[in-house]
Amino acid sequence: MSTVTWITARGLFGRRRFLLLLPLPLVLLGLAVLCRSLGVDPGQWGPPVLVGLGLAVVLPVVALIIGTGVLGAEIDDGTVVHILTKPLPRWQIVLPKLAVAAGVTAVTVAVPLYVAGVLADSVRLGLALAVAAALGALAYSALFLALSLVTRRPVLLGLVYVLIWEGLLGNFVSGTKVLSIQQYVIALADRIAPTGLLETSVSVPVASVMTALVSVGFTVLAIDRLRSFSVAGETS
């Protein structure tokens, strides 16, 4: 597993797509610092920056870029053959890749969210956002990793989920929030550090259970899907 982890991390940081991770977190951090330095009321800039940008855009987009890349890129360029030919159970391939995807996503997003939370309210809010974002990173990564094995257009489907389901329908159809990872993250963060800056109709028990189900369910799907791949990298 350590070998797969090393190969995945080296491949991720060696690809140009890794550079796509930097702008959004920097924009989030820059806006938070700017608003704080200008003395803008946190009640005005907190929700749009922390939730509207941080949790609704930065977290899922970074997770999408990484989650679809840790295995999807290897399938596209054919290098997945080198891993599939090794006598490894498929879970020993999927789990390290998921760990790398979730870990890199969590660090990339949690740090600027922590700083923004501290600037908006308190250290407790910053920690709450960081912890919740890390849990959300795991759920998103499992989802997008599975998509890279289910379809040839995982990025497109991922964007549909993030922009249409969570972004558009989530704001107008309340029932869709129960199937929104973004709402789970908001609920968990608000439970750790209750504040008026975070609002959601999803309860903490539902958010906790659904986060676990999404993480485990899509991981199992990814493992099962990878079992159907032949050495040629195609599904049998």
pTM: 0.90
Check whether 140 has a pLDDT greater than 60.
Answer: yes
Is there a contact between 176 and 167 (Cβ–Cβ < 8 Å)? no
- pLDDT for 233 equals 46
Confidence at 95, pLDDT banded by 50, 70, 90: very high
Confidence at 232, pLDDT banded by 50, 70, 90: very low
Confidence at 56, pLDDT banded by 50, 70, 90: very high
Half-sphere exposure of 64 (CA within 13 A, CB side): 20
Q: Which residue has the higher pLDDT, 98 or 226?
A: 98
Q: List the chain domain ranges.
A: 3-227
Check whether 203 has a pLDDT greater than 50.
Answer: yes
Is there a contact between 231 and 81 (Cβ–Cβ < 8 Å)? yes
User: What percent of the chain stands above pLDDT 90?
Assistant: 65
- pLDDT for 109 equals 96
Confidence at 81, pLDDT banded by 50, 70, 90: low
Say how far apart CA 39 and CA 37 lie, in whole Å: 5
Each residue of 116-125: pLDDT tens digit? Answer: 999 999 999 9
Can you tell me the mean pLDDT for 125-138?
97
Is there a contact between 123 and 95 (Cβ–Cβ < 8 Å)? no
Say how far apart CA 106 and CA 59 lie, in whole Å: 8
Say how far apart CA 191 and CA 74 lie, in whole Å: 39
